[in-house]
Amino acid sequence: MKKQTSRAYWISVSLLVLTFVIATFCAEPQAIKHRFCIYQLKDFRWNEPPGKLAEVGLEDTPLLTENDLVSYDWETHTLTLTKGGGKTFADKAKAGFVVIADGQRCYRGRFWSSYLSSTCNQPVILVNDLSGDTVQIQRAYPSARFASGDDPRPDERIQRVLRELGKLKEPVSATEQKSTKP
């Protein structure tokens, strides 16, 4: 009798472990529910090749979504956020982020602080002065001349989504500027 109880116990434990393993490794990828969002990356490895962006884990909830966004200035990549929205990024220095449009990972960058003595060759969001309601995604830090490769920020997928959401501030063309002058 004791042998049967022990055997049933181990079979139950084995099935429970097997269920956990299947659920963990066969789960569907994280579904993105927002059209525009910024997620913090899990286990961020800065030297990971850009082609691996689709495989990098995201935190469970986005740091920012289109609901937090009042407007996005396409020319300067400045985000105007709802009241206090910039505080979301306050304690994130050196963490990685990814910008997502319609569920597609467009590019990654880093939260940075001007107090850090090093440069950053990827897009950055400075986190040491977020008292206002605007955040700029800079090309690199401390300036664009420290960047490497093509600028990933003017991604057509992001521009299309922001335009459809009515959040995009597009640059005024020279023709439009002349026609508005008296």
Rounded-to-integer distance, Cα 160 and Cα 66, Å? 13
Q: What ranges do the domains of the chain cover?
A: 36-171
Rounded Cα distance, 171 and 163, in Å: 13
Residue 129 has pLDDT above 80, yes or no: no
Most confident of 2-16, 20-34, 125-139, 165-179: 125-139
- What's this model's pTM, rounded to 2 decimal places? 0.74
- The reported pLDDT for the residue numbered 101 is 97
Higher per-residue confidence, 39 vs 94: 39
Which tokens is 177 given?
């500027």
pLDDT at residue 54, as a whole number: 83
Q: Around 86, how many Cα atoms within 13 Å sit in the side-chain half-sphere? A: 16
Contact 73, 121 (CB under 8 A): no
CB-based contact 63:98 (threshold 8 Å): no
For 86, the token pair is 């910039």
> Counting Cβ atoms within 10 Å, is residue 93 exposed (0-12), middle (13-18) or buried (19+)?
middle
What is the per-residue pLDDT across 68-119, written as a single tens digit (0 to 9) for each? Answer: 999 999 999 999 999 877 777 777 777 899 999 999 999 999 999 888 888 9
Question: Which candidate, 120, 91, 101, 100, places its Cα nearest to that of 39?
Answer: 100
